[in-house]
Chains A and B, each alone.
Chain A
Amino acid sequence: MISETLIVEKGVSAGDPWVTVESRNVREALSGLKNDGYTLLVFLTCVDHLVDSSRQWPARYEVLYQLRNLETREQIRLRAFIDGEPPRIESVHDLFGPANWEERETYDMFGIVFNNHPELTRILMPDDWVGYPLRRDYPVGGEPVEFSEEHEMWQTAPEKA
């Protein structure tokens, strides 16, 4: 079990138990839970709390680890809050098998840097993509619409080569 000293806050959200730990203690907490029987990392992801007034958030990025005990079928969600540019947290790819790709995806989508990850590269977006699409301040929207002058330019026939 996680030692009480690591726990910053704990609670239950819609029936799902969760604990919050300091981001520097994530590895220690997760290996404690793993030894306690929570052997399956169901998923790992991040929530961007930019301009989120539903409560006071300690930091902008919340990294979540959903763990499951396959014997007792209990689940627990571990949260850690991080800030900074880039936001950094320790990788847990050696503790949980599925974490490798999940961390790459979280890096790809949120720009969270997982220290000591063996291969932290983009996984879903193209390698030369700029920006982190799932951040709340990532611009959403279509391509720039071409008006007037550009439109006329577009209409003129290309010069003969």
Chain B
Amino acid sequence: MDTIAQGVTVTKTGETGAFGGELLTINFGPHHPSTHGVLRLIVDLDGEQVRRLKPVIGYLHTGIEKQMEALRWQQGVTVTDRHDYLSPPINNLAYALAVEKLMGVDVPPRANALRVIMSELTRLSSHLVWMGTSGLELGAMSMLMYCFRERDTILDMNEEISGFRMHTSYIRPGGVMADATPRFLEMLDKFCHEMPGHVDEYEALLTNNPIWRSRTIGIGILSPEDAKVLGATGPMLRGSGVAWDLRRSMPYSGYENYDFEIATSDMRDCYGRYLVRIKEMRESVKILRQALDKLPDGPVNVDDRKMLPPPREELETSMEAVIHHFKLFTEGYSVPPGDVYVAVESGRGENGCYIASDGTHKPRRVKFRSASFVNLQVLERMALNHMLADMVAIIGTADTVLGDCDR
């Protein structure tokens, strides 16, 4: 045993492995293209087999939780966009639900439906990025083109509804940024119509692709017991056959009103996790279709002038509106003291937000429970005794976003 970096103890290079050769300690990353950001793994190799693995994280740490403490409640939304940069609206949703729960506010039904629509679009775009890049890493080069084609449609919709393509800040405490435009609803209708066919295309490219199958089947097996004990969530858990999905298990934002199945797979390997994501994409389209068909009318924000600014036209006629506007943008609103934890299901698993308020206009503490951070601890369990080349498949299907992991 030896210490090569402070606190990182690994088997000394030169110890004898099972094949009679020496163990070799290497760095995998942080700038390896298949580490999905900057993940560094210290890997002990016996021949080409992984005998020990140690993730080293923190290269994308941006102090998001510290920044939240310096921002007023309504300003914090923009920062939540940026930790899991593949699913901004879902991060917004966790934060918004937590603030609303502390304040005891319920948003109108149309806002809830729009939140569901944005969450599902985001889940789709996140899975598309995952599938495109994982395909690229495992030799299915054309997947990236197909997946990013549909992702671009989703980004166009983001732009239409919020003005931003990626960091939308669309879901805010008290409702959503703005109502959906008629053009957005048209685009969404067209998208719901076309997307199932596109998922068929992905399946045609991958599901029976012999290279894809041989690189993923039997690789990175995670037993349901291990997954539960180590706290894995999302497709990692469902790919091991555990039907746990927060949208169904602990519903929020009216998910209990939608008819969808929880995607699970008993394969427990990388291929199982791929099947789960494919199924989830189909289910997401189902939810989008239902949300679009029964989109309720009405306001998209709570009618509370102490929390959200008055409409522009009121500012010209009402002194009270001017005062509210001024107070909101200079001091902000305050949230009653207390703490709350709210969890939502993101493309990667349980994305939670813990907020402690001391009754002022800024949070005392905001903690993001990121799925990537917890799921990454499972990596060693999955990768042991696999070939080094299989690590790429295993890291890929774990689908960690390092921005989310390091926050």
Does B339 count as interface, using CB distance less than 8 angstroms?
A: yes
Give the shortest distance, in Å, between A37 (CB) and chain B (any CB).
Answer: 12
Does B18 count as interface, using CB distance less than 8 angstroms?
A: no
Verify B57–A124 contact, CB threshold 8 A.
Answer: yes
Verify B6–A121 contact, CB threshold 8 A.
Answer: yes
| Docked pose: A18 CA to B148 CA in angstroms | 45
Q: Which of B58-66, B203-211, B266-274 contacts A (4 or more CB under 8 A)?
A: B58-66
Verify B406–A124 contact, CB threshold 8 A.
Answer: yes
Please judge, given known A-B contacts A70-B228, A97-B229, whether A54 and B367 are in contact too, CB under 8 Å: no
User: CB-nearest residue of chain B relative to A75?
Assistant: B341
User: CB-nearest residue of chain A relative to B338?
Assistant: A13
**Dominant SS at the B interface?**
mixed
Does B403 count as interface, using CB distance less than 8 angstroms?
A: no
Most buried by B among A13, A14, A52, A122: A14
Verify A140–B70 contact, CB threshold 8 A.
Answer: yes
Q: How many of B's residues come within 8 Å of A, CB to CB?
A: 46
| Docked pose: A14 CA to B353 CA in angstroms | 14
Does A45 count as interface, using CB distance less than 8 angstroms?
A: yes
Verify A47–B364 contact, CB threshold 8 A.
Answer: yes
Please judge, given known A-B contacts A43-B354, A45-B354, A119-B9, whether A52 and B364 are in contact too, CB under 8 Å: yes
Verify B230–A14 contact, CB threshold 8 A.
Answer: no
| Docked pose: A123 CA to B407 CA in angstroms | 12
Per-residue CB contact flags for chain B residues 319-341 toward chain A (1 = under 8 Å, else 0) read 00000000000000000011111
Verify A66–B341 contact, CB threshold 8 A.
Answer: yes
User: CB-nearest residue of chain A relative to B355?
Assistant: A14
| Docked pose: A41 CA to B233 CA in angstroms | 12
Verify B101–A42 contact, CB threshold 8 A.
Answer: no
Please judge, given known A-B contacts A42-B369, A126-B58, whether A54 and B358 are in contact too, CB under 8 Å: yes
| Docked pose: A124 CA to B367 CA in angstroms | 14
Verify B338–A14 contact, CB threshold 8 A.
Answer: yes
Give the shortest distance, in Å, between A111 (CB) and chain B (any CB).
Answer: 14
Does A87 count as interface, using CB distance less than 8 angstroms?
A: no
Chain A residues 97-130 with CB under 8 Å of chain B are 97-98, 100-101, 105, 109, 119, 121-128
Contact count A vs B, C-beta below 8 Å: 106
Most buried by A among B244, B337, B356, B359: B356
Please judge, given known A-B contacts A70-B228, A75-B341, A123-B58, whether A101 and B364 are in contact too, CB under 8 Å: no
Residues in A neighbouring B231, C-beta threshold 8 A: 40-42, 96-98
Q: How many of A's residues come within 8 Å of B, CB to CB?
A: 44
Q: Which of A14, A42, A49, A123 contacts B343 (CB 8 A)?
A: A42
| Docked pose: A52 CA to B337 CA in angstroms | 10
Give the shortest distance, in Å, between B87 (CB) and chain A (any CB).
Answer: 18
| Docked pose: A123 CA to B61 CA in angstroms | 10
Does A151 count as interface, using CB distance less than 8 angstroms?
A: no
Please judge, given known A-B contacts A42-B343, A45-B354, A53-B358, whether A124 and B58 are in contact too, CB under 8 Å: yes
Residues in B neighbouring A15, C-beta threshold 8 A: 101, 340
Give the shortest distance, in Å, between B248 (CB) and chain A (any CB).
Answer: 11
Residues in B neighbouring A64, C-beta threshold 8 A: 339, 354
| Docked pose: A121 CA to B58 CA in angstroms | 12
Give the shortest distance, in Å, between B147 (CB) and chain A (any CB).
Answer: 30
Q: Which residues of B contact A (CB under 8 A)?
A: 5-9, 57-58, 61, 63, 65-66, 69-70, 101-102, 104, 228-231, 244, 249-250, 337-341, 343, 350, 352, 354, 356-359, 364-365, 367, 369, 373-374, 376-377, 406-407
Taking A98-B374, A127-B7 as known contacts, 16 extra A-B pairs with beta carbons closer than 8 A to each other, sorted by chain A number, are A39-B228, A45-B354, A45-B365, A47-B365, A54-B358, A54-B359, A64-B339, A73-B249, A98-B230, A98-B231, A101-B373, A101-B376, A121-B7, A133-B63, A134-B65, A140-B66
Q: Can you pick out 24 interface pairs between chain A and chain B where the beta carbons lie within 8 Å of each other? A: A13-B338, A13-B339, A14-B338, A15-B101, A16-B339, A16-B340, A39-B229, A40-B231, A42-B350, A43-B354, A43-B367, A47-B356, A47-B364, A54-B358, A66-B354, A73-B250, A75-B341, A96-B231, A97-B377, A101-B373, A101-B376, A109-B65, A119-B7, A138-B66
- Nearest first, the 3 A-B pairs at minimum CB distance are A121-B7, A98-B231, A54-B337
